[in-house]
Amino acid sequence: MAGQETPPESDASTAAGKASCRPSRRGWVYAGPAVGLMVGLFAGLADSGVLAQNVRDLITPRLLLENASFTLITYSTCGVVVCTAACVVGALAGRFRQRLRSRLEPRPLALAGFLALVPVLLVWIALRRSGLTPPRGLAAVAGSSVVWVIALVPLAWVCLRLGRTVIGRCLAPAPRIAVWPALVLLIASIGVQWQGRSRIQSPDGFWPIANAESSERPNDRPPDVVFIVMDTLRVDRLGCYGYPRPTSPHLDAFADDAVLFRWAISQSPWTVPSHACMFTGLYLSQYGLRSGWLDDRFVTLAEALRDRGYQTMALSNNRIVAPCVNLTQGFEQFAEPVGVLYPKCSLAYGLMRYALYGDRSFGPLLGKWLAYDAGGRTTAPIAARWLGARDRSRPFLLFCNYMETHGPYEPPSTYRRQFVQGADLDRSYRIDQSRSAGWLFSLAGEPIYSPRDLKILSDLYDARVRELDDYFADLMRVLAAEVDLDQTLVIVVSDHGENLGDHGMLGHQFSVHNTLLHVPLLIRWPRALRPTRVTRVVQTFDLFPTILDWTGARADPSTEILARSLATALQPTTQSVQRCAFSEYLHYPESQLRAVQQLVPGFDPSRWEATYQTVFDGQWKLIMRSSKHLELYDLLADPGETFDQGASQPKTTVRLLTQLKQWQQSYERYDPSQSSTPLDPRLDEERRQRLHELGYVQ
């Protein structure tokens, strides 16, 4: 290494420090790695320092150590590669041009190369985030190359001049001295990453979890509430709902001790309206979602519980379950764990994120060692920190949204290896999971994915479910340490499912099939509920009155709540009335259709320009498309919704259509003109940006 650097070979170059000296061949060889290692480590420390400052209220020492080791490795690797490349270029240039040979020095040149890399990476990552496609993508690459040249020339000049000054000569031995401590730091960072790498947890001993705080709570104190949304989790991929693969051992153990709702139906097949329904007890048509924004005038679950005296905290890993959609009204505190360990602003994160998953040739190589997380890994430590600091004299509402099962499906390699067959592993890194590929496949029927590809995507999804299951176990262990679990209401639900090639589609737009609307729902509250399985149809927005009911909180009396407390569904059959479930899909992403139109000549978007309303009575499901076209499915005989029985079952069609019409007339529709709050343009832009990141808009 640089520490073993020998005097220059050429006699003419032994006058060290003189401007005319010629660096030795070995000097060129060692300068790149040595300088790259050190500037990389400095940059990594700076990046971690910025992180620690930005999220100082959330981060724990363990998370900071993980982040610092990640950034140190990433930057120093980049530094070594770039600085070495700069030295190679410099040495070759010196070989062919006599004038350059006497002027170029390896260390300043290596430093200039690294500094030039920073603006290039910033531009590149910004371009990848903005989702540019050819020919704009080509122009963007050309633009970033120009930035590279513009940045390199003055930086190289400054560095070369510095090398000829007194300061430069004083600093010259620094790489030789510092390279060994830097190497030690790098090896320690690799050790931290190795120790903290993802491992599949054994469910042995997970349940029952002992309570750390066996309670001396007064009986009249309302329960603490933990509301967990597992975003995009399909009900049929959980063991407790009959899935044969070992995707959910921890959730299965939890379900054995909870109330399991066999037929829970979401009120909408995608995130924002589904969450808004659960948070308000209203149907989508009732609150309207004006411009993607939940109107302030509707009282949310968090607001009702806050008024009841609860501390309210939301930990959201979904970028659009956030203030920019106004879904977080009523939460006194809000945090996004997904941005804590690897913040969006981090250059190291952006680099790895796009090198690993943006470039399919890098994927198999890097994926074995590195993975970024969707926030689940970070959620439990942040929850622990918040629970530890909370006011114990007050009950709390803790809301958590987990995003592991949301696309793209990128599990760490340990989970990937368990669920993807060995012969498919390499291919699993190369499958195009970009948004545009998904749209082209789903909307235009382009043959992008073979049956084998769809099987691999399904396997990757299962691996993500298993990973999520481990993060759920982490959270339950935190809860067991911090609260009395027997007196805590723990709810696990999904906002919607996911199409994984079902009905020729990927994702969760442009469809109201039960792959999206039928979701898992588990409730555990030992003080009041006995473990059981409920087969009646329930709706996820019923959670709103249910939680209010069990906590003694009150809804806004001026709003007509059509949801009903699940306490009713738990009563003996004779005392409860079978209810139908209604769902709506009213806002399709037009920009996706426009994007496909640009890519596929002759594509007709009219087939997809539709709204949907559905009614399900426990057996039959009627889908009404744009208030005209009807489809009828027998979900007990045909759970895949493959055979429309509208023609053979006219009576059932009429019965359900009547129920649908009666339901439509049973509530007052949202009138945007009555809204009291103007839309904030900044939040509007932020919402658009976040929707874009998740692939909902272009």
* Residues at the interface with Zn ion (CB under 5 A): 231, 271, 495
CB of 269: closest distance to Zn ion in angstroms? Answer: 9
Question: Please, which residue, 125 or 272, has the CB nearer to Zn ion?
Answer: 272
The string over 371-390, giving b where at least 16 C-beta atoms fall within 10 Å of a residue's C-beta and e elsewhere, is bbbbbbbbbbbbbbbbbeeb
Catalogue the long-range contacts made by 623-632 (C-beta closer than 8 Å, 24 or more residues apart).
Answer: 623/512, 624/657, 624/660, 630/657, 632/656
- Least gap, CB of 112 to Zn ion (angstroms): 46
Taking the complex as a whole, the smallest distance from the CB of residue 401 to Zn ion amounts, in Å, to: 8
Q: Least separation, in Å, of the C-beta of 402 and Zn ion?
A: 10
**By Cβ distance, which residue is nearest to Zn ion?**
271
Quick one: 86 or 229, whose CB is closer to Zn ion?
229
Between 229 and 555, CB nearer to Zn ion: 229
Q: In whole angstroms, how close is the CB of 695 to Zn ion at the nearest point? A: 12
Radius of gyration of the chain (CA): 29
The pairing of strands 396-402 and 311-316 is parallel
Least Å distance between CB 231 and Zn ion? 4
Q: Which residues contact 218 (CB under 8 A, 6 or more apart)?
A: none
* Closer residue to Zn ion (CB): 285 or 318: 318
Judged by beta carbon, residue 396 or residue 588, the one nearer Zn ion is 588
Task: Report the nearest approach of Zn ion to the CB of residue 446 (Å).
Answer: 25
Q: How far is the CB of 518 from Zn ion (least distance, A)?
A: 14
User: What beta strand segments (E) does 197-244 contain?
Assistant: 224-230
CB of 232 to Zn ion, least distance (A): 5
Here the tokens at position 63 are 């998370």
Which of 48, 271 has the CB closer to Zn ion? Answer: 271
The minimum distance between CB 691 and Zn ion, in angstroms, equals 12
- In angstroms, give the least distance from the CB of 494 to Zn ion: 8
Nearer to Zn ion (CB atom), residue 233 or residue 522: 233
Nearer to Zn ion, 69 or 271 (CB): 271
Which is nearer to Zn ion, 413 or 511 (by Cβ)?
Answer: 511
Least distance in Å: CB of 625 to Zn ion?
A: 22
Do 569 and 534 touch, CB atoms closer than 8 A? yes
Question: Which residue lies nearer to Zn ion by CB, 401 or 487?
Answer: 401
The least CB distance from residue 503 to Zn ion, in Å, is 18
Closer to Zn ion by Cβ: residue 72 or 493: 493
The one-letter code for the residue type at 446 is E
Residue 159, judged by CB atoms within 10 A of its CB (0-12, 13-18, 19+), counts as: buried
Question: Distance between CA 358 and CA 339 in Å, rounded?
Answer: 19
Task: Spell out the residues 6+ positions from residue 471 whose beta carbon is closer than 8 angstroms to its own.
Answer: 376, 377, 379, 380, 402, 404
Nearer to Zn ion, 67 or 514 (CB): 514
CB distance 514 to 641 below 8 Å: yes
CA distance 664 to 659: 9
Neighbours of 595 (CB within 10 A): 20
C-alpha dihedral over 386, 388, 389, 395, to 10 degrees? 80
Quick one: 226 or 516, whose CB is closer to Zn ion?
A: 516
**558-576 exposure pattern, b = at least 16 Cβ within 10 A, e = fewer:** eeebbbbbbebbbeeeeee
User: If 0-12 CB within 10 Å is exposed, 13-18 middle and 19+ buried, where does residue 662 land?
Assistant: exposed
Backbone φ, ψ for residue 582 (5° rounding): -120, 140
Structure tokens at 128: 């990848």
Q: Which CB atom, from 76 or from 540, has the smaller least distance to Zn ion? A: 540
Maximum CA extent, the chain: 102
Distance of closest approach, residue 48 Cβ to Zn ion, in angstroms: 31
For the bound state, the minimum distance from the C-beta of residue 374 to Zn ion, rounded and expressed in Å, comes to 12
Residues in contact with 191: Cβ distance below 8 Å, sequence separation at least 6, in sequence order: none
68 within 8 A of 44, measured Cβ to Cβ: yes
Give the span between the Cα atoms of 468 and 238, in whole angstroms: 11
- What is the distance, to the nearest Å, from the Cα of residue 531 to the centroid of all Cα atoms in its chain? 32
With beta carbons less than 8 A apart as the criterion, state whether 442 and 504 touch: yes
For 246, list phi and psi in degrees, rounded to 5.
-80, 65
Alpha helical stretches, state H, 97-197:
98-103, 106-129, 136-163, 166-171, 174-195
> Which residue, 482 or 498, has its beta carbon nearer to Zn ion?
498
